[in-house]
């Protein structure tokens, strides 16, 4: 079975999501209000403030993740290939064409059915 080849932008999206997920998980696990406020006179207020700051930071990271994902997804969508590769000669064939203009390879015959009548 042939494995599909992913485009570069697909890999960029995957890496973006993995990095942002790791950053958010790291921010959540690194936040320890008890150790940050160990020597503070107003310990409960300090822990509450530290927890609120962690929450605000995580929400800010989530927004960065979301907007970055939207922008990268738009780039992925706009940079999609404009055709397909001919298996016989390797030439790019525009979408909608059923015959390669260079080597006359018939895509419809290779699939086993006739193209629709115009």
Q: How far apart are CA 97 and CA 20, in angstroms?
A: 41
CB atoms within 10 A of CB 90: 10
Q: What tokens appear for 104 in the block?
A: 């006359």
Q: What is the residue extent of each domain of the chain?
A: 1-80, 83-118
Mean pLDDT of 51-67: 92
Q: Which residue has the higher pLDDT, 76 or 91?
A: 76
Q: Which residue has the higher pLDDT, 41 or 93?
A: 93
Instruction: Quote the pLDDT of residue 67.
Output: 97
CB atoms within 10 A of CB 30: 8
3-state DSSP call for residue 29? helix
What are the CA-CA distances from residue 4 to residues 7, 10, 11, 85 (Å)?
A: 10, 12, 13, 13
Provide CB contacts within 8 A for 51, sequence distance 6+.
Answer: 31, 33
pLDDT digits over 77-89, tens only? Answer: 998 777 788 888 8
pTM over 0.85: no
CB atoms within 10 A of CB 25: 11
Token pair 């509450």 is found at 48
């Amino acid at each position: 079975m042939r494995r599909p080849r992913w485009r570069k932008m697909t890999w960029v999206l995957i890496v973006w999501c993995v990095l942002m997920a790791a950053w958010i998980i790291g921010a959540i696990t690194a936040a320890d209000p008890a150790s940050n406020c160990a020597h503070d006179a107003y310990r409960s207020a300090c822990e509450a403030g530290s927890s609120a700051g962690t929450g605000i930071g995580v929400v800010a990271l989530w927004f960065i993740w979301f907007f970055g994902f939207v922008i990268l997804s738009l780039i992925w969508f706009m940079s999609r290939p404009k055709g397909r590769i001919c298996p016989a000669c390797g030439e790019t064939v525009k979408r909608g064409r059923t015959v390669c203009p260079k080597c006359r390879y018939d895509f419809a015959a290779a699939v086993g059915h006739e193209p629709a009548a115009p």
